[in-house]
Amino acid sequence: MNLALVLTLSALLFSVGVYGVLARRNAVLVLMSIELMLNAVNLNLVAFGAHFQDAMAVGQIFALFVIAIAAAEVGIGLAIVLLIFRNRETINVDEVDLLKW
Amino acid sequence: MNGPEIVFTALALVAGIAGILVVTTKNVVRAALYLVAALGSIAAIFMLLGAEFIGWTQVLIYVGAIVVLLLFGVMLTRAPIGSARTVDNQQRGVAFVVAASLFGVLTYLIWRGFGDKRIPLQQVVRTEDIGTSMFTNFVLPFEAISVLLLAALVGAIVLARRDK
């Protein structure tokens, strides 16, 4: 199978995630876009691991680490989103300007 | 085009379309369900690439846990469901330009650098191999990740609980 096909799908998912992070207002939707970007990275790691066929399975192990960090990130992120909603009654990221002025 | 490439193209179409719908739909709950479709087809692609343990971990953790957490977030924050234009900001045009140029540059570089490389699909990495490698070569990063996960979950509880 062609390696570049898998990498192109990964690049597409990453770009879609970048668009979502930049264009969405709702903080939960921003978190979903970040998950898409992390998944694109995982796809890259697994594809290169399958391409190089290394004996240590480094690509897959680092994909597992990325999945664990994604779980931690979404837990912390949703806690922060809940806290902001409780204090400000909104989770639109352009209305949360506490640190801006 | 051989068999695995046809299967991969079908799965990639599902993943790409579902991913684009995640960032364009107006309904927050539907975005979460499209995210399930995208992550599920990526899990199938992992299995196609011989990474069955990663594939099932993806199903368990992403589809099973993270999407449920995101749906809890949608419910607990009274996100606008079914309403247009409140979920996007005014920077959609700029964001589209940035994302499209990023995709163009990445695709050009990928096909220029790896256009002729192949993935040999004969060998499946078994779960036993991953476990052996993780607990011989990667013990220290594994422990660091577990401590990080513990700290993150304790921090999430501390942040989200109500102060008496």
pLDDT by residue (tens digit) across A64-82?
999 999 999 999 999 999 9
Same domain for B77 and B149?
no
Nearest to A23 among B23, B134, B138 (CB): B23
Nearest to B49 among A50, A64, A70 (CB): A50
Q: Which of residues 62-101 of A touch B (CB under 8 A)?
A: 63-65, 67-76, 78-83, 85, 91-94
Domains of chain A: 3-88 (1.10.287.3510)
Distance CA B135, CA B15 (A): 33
C-beta atoms surrounding B78 within 10 Å: 11
List pLDDT tens digits, range A7-47: 999 999 999 999 999 998 888 999 999 999 999 999 999 99
pTM of the model: 0.91
What is the CATH classification number for the domain harbouring B80?
Answer: 1.20.120.1200
Q: What is the mean pLDDT of chain B?
A: 88
User: CA triplet B77, A82, B73: central angle to 5 degrees?
Assistant: 50
Same domain for B13 and B75?
yes
Same domain for B138 and B59?
no
Nearest to B111 among A4, A17, A75 (CB): A4
ipTM surpassing 0.95: no
Q: Do B54 and A6 touch (CB under 8 A)?
A: no
Same domain for B97 and B157?
no
Confidence of residue B81 (pLDDT cuts 50, 70, 90): low
* Residue B134 lies in domain: 126-164
Distance CA B141, CA A63 (A): 13
Confidence of residue B90 (pLDDT cuts 50, 70, 90): confident
Confidence of residue B124 (pLDDT cuts 50, 70, 90): confident
Same domain for B160 and B81?
no
Sign of the torsion formed by the C-alpha atoms of A72, A74, A80 and A82: negative
Same domain for B18 and B32?
yes
pLDDT of residue B139: 93
Q: Do A76 and B42 touch (CB under 8 A)?
A: no
**How many structural domains are present in chain B?**
2
Same domain for B79 and B131?
no
Distance CA A4, CA A9 (A): 9
| Chain A, chain B: beta-carbon pairs less than 8 Å apart | 254
